[in-house]
A and B are shown apart, each in its own frame.
Chain A
């Protein structure tokens, strides 16, 4: 559950899909995400990505996950622990707790003891001044993950670096005060040709298993399929089709996809955009990773092709404006 609230920025193409575990409807999806373009403090463009996984072992975890991603700001990854804790405290205070008298005793007791809990990852993407690179800063509590597939074929992931590190007891953010809460932080830069994927734990484990098995083709193939079917224009809210879990599970082949809500956010750097739409560039990048031939991406298109693409683009804009 979540949304892409604005065009993700000239430098980044973003799409997100989220679906509940099999047999559950979307209301019971306890994952949440938010992707939005924002102005940073210096007036520049930035893209905020927040993804959260409500802990199903706690109550009201879905609403808490949605509250967290809605509250997250572009500067969270850059804040010190104390300031970030203060921001989370503010989110806790705004979170509308149900009145115990209205609840069955066991839900009231559980809320009083544990609160609602969720894992959270917040990433900020900002263009690096004077270059085509994009700076990525992330902060996380728990096992929502960010995986970067680089154009040279290497892969980096944060905060979980191996599929076996996904555990049953990740750190979580509670609606109850947590003065000693620890945060994981990471910073990197990405560029055109790289693919960034943020995901909740079931997809994260599945993705890292694919990486460890040197079998990322099924992963990129699935991303391409899902992207091709996603006809909704930017910006849009886009819950995944009901069958996202099934499709992920099927493409996992021998690997087992843990029965869980699934959320996947795809971010592809698009600057410098030589020709075509952001969607075209994202697609070409995914295809490049799928075929292992990314160099073609960076070759200048023939002049006649550039003219055709530019003309089609102008026509599209004209139709939209009309």
Chain B
């Protein structure tokens, strides 16, 4: 075992998590922390889960952001499933979200917000060292800082005197018998309008491999993807059009990656543009034939006059990291400006693995951006020349058999909110519980369908 403690945190607490890690390691406690300990080339989430399994203790830093973090929840669940002791550490004076409270109500918590940080660090380090040495620590806070979960605390502080050891921090929750915690934070039920616009960021792979044919047609992937992107923009413009012109109902970004000096470029000259401006940027319509599923397992072809914004270009490398970096910056700024809007939806369209750095940490950071309506959503569409192998909206059971690159994209995809799951079912897809916004080996028709369910249909709330 190469480490003792796995530190679980939301990206908003990254700096704090690293301070805790440094203090621990200075005192001989070996830590595992992302992204420092992620091995090169590993599937990010798989590496996290493996690290939890080989830990002696999981330290979960709980905060407002952690309450909304899909990843912190998954890490806590994985620790419970694999029998690894958990010490929740409240770094902000907030109550745990119901799903975390449900999971952690039986264990002891460390409160690290009510006294000077240096004292907190010292007490936390001492407590963890004692536990790892196999000894027990006595409650309450005066000696160890460990308290019952907030919901289980006695009304008079200091009444608890029970001792706590590493084994007693092992959480026993029957995840099969008890109702599972919610999969997505948020309601995702707020319509997008000019008072509360929506935000869509499309990341489009324009690497050389996109010159190959897409399944179901004879056209290259770059053309099918450009048609799908232009269709989405067209639908967005028409949905925003009213008597007075195009209303500012959406901000949309299209970031093509693999081209340009920086490896990422936008047809709008900026990373996010209001739909009313996008409408005015349209180039003259071209007659395009697009494929759509017919709802009965087949495909229908539809000829449409499609205005053009995004050109079918494919050359260079798959600079997915750079694209997600730009998306994160844009989404973060936008979320700060629109706290009551439907959260950003980021849709990545690619035909495979990325070049260079793994974008997973950026994706996790995007997924932790929140508005009052819910967390930002990231969906991935894998377009392919492989015929008949499409997997729409896989859940954990389907994903178990995915090879590494496909699993990476699966792990980078958000769980579908109920609303979208329902719409996917209406389109005839079999959507299991925990299904993600991911399609593997998409042909031209499924690409269009995927963008409609995750994109244009969300515009119609």
Contact = CB atoms under 8 A, between A and B. Distances in A.
Interface stretch (B103-111, B121-129, B233-241, B311-319): B233-241
A304 interface: no
Contacts of B461: 168
Interface string B238-261: 110111111000000000000000
A106 B239 contact: no
Interface string A54-70: 00110111100000000
A-side interface size class: 10 to 19
B444 interface: no
A107 B243 CA distance: 8
A62 B244 CA distance: 12
A113 interface: yes
Contacts of B241: 59, 106-107, 110
Contacts of B243: 28, 59-62
Nearest to B276: A106
B245 to A, nearest CB: 7
A109 B238 contact: yes
A110 B460 CA distance: 15
Contacts of A62: 243
Interface in A56-108: 56-57, 59-62, 104-107
A59 B243 CA distance: 5
A111 B460 CA distance: 18
A106 B238 contact: yes
Contact of B238 (A28, A60, A113): A113
Nearest to B284: A105
A11 B305 CA distance: 56
B115 to A, nearest CB: 43
B198 interface: no
B239 A105 contact: no
Interface string B22-62: 00000000000000000000000000000000000000000
Given A105-B282, A106-B279, A168-B461, A56 B242 contact: yes
Contacts of B88: none
Nearest to A107: B241
Given A57-B239, A113-B238, A168-B461, A105 B245 contact: no
Contacts of A109: 234, 238, 305
Nearest to B307: A105
Given A59-B242, A104-B245, 10 more contacts: A28-B244, A56-B242, A62-B243, A105-B285, A106-B246, A106-B279, A109-B305, A168-B191, A168-B460, A168-B461
Interface of A: 28, 56-57, 59-62, 104-107, 109-110, 113, 168
12 contacts: A59-B241, A105-B282, A105-B285, A106-B238, A106-B241, A106-B245, A106-B279, A107-B241, A107-B245, A109-B305, A110-B238, A168-B191
